Amino acid sequence: MANLLLDIGAYLIANDLVTADGVDFFRDALPDEPTNVVAALEYPGLPTNIGDESCDRNVQIKIRNKSYEQARIKSNDIFKLLDNPDDKIVNLTAARWCIIRAKQSPYKLSVDNAGNTVFVFNLGITTFRD
């Protein structure tokens, strides 16, 4: 069965931005460990349309790193990969197409209690249902 967040992870792995799901990429969670991670968290999108198999979905990408500069660089690298101004259609996998629109560029969200920096950005994604 298809899973949008797994497909995003697979795309980031294929582009050498994360190592593996559950290692430094997490879905719908930002665990306390390890320190340097990327998380994709889905939140409510728009209502579906009659007769349309596609959905407008929302995904937040969070990047945490003990280094402010490394968190900033990785967030911008992922942002540029997922939101290409010249071609909004992205094939995350051989079976998953998406139209991806960034809702904003990456920004520093917080510094956690351990002193790690968290950057974040949000995406609107049109794709098929899982």
Distance CA 103, CA 105 (A): 7
Domain 4-45+54-128 -> CATH class: alpha beta
38-94 pLDDT tens trace: 999 999 987 777 777 888 999 999 999 999 999 999 999 999 999 999 989 999 999
Q: CB of 11 within 8 A of CB of 90?
A: yes
Q: How confident is the model at residue 37 (pLDDT cuts 50, 70, 90)?
A: very high
Q: What is the DSSP letter of 38?
A: E
CA angle at 53 for the pair 48 and 58, rounded to the nearest 5°:
50
Distance CA 79, CA 102 (A): 8
Per-domain boundaries in the chain: 4-45+54-128
How many other CB atoms sit within 10 Å of the CB of residue 94? 7
User: Which burial class, exposed, middle or buried, applies to 93 when counting CB atoms under 10 A from its CB (0-12, 13-18, 19+)?
Assistant: middle
Q: CB of 63 within 8 A of CB of 74?
A: yes
User: How confident is the model over 93-109, as a mean pLDDT?
Assistant: 96
pLDDT above 70 (res 9): yes
Which pTM value belongs to this model? 0.94
Dihedral of alpha carbons 33, 35, 37, 43, sign: positive
Q: CB of 121 within 8 A of CB of 105?
A: yes
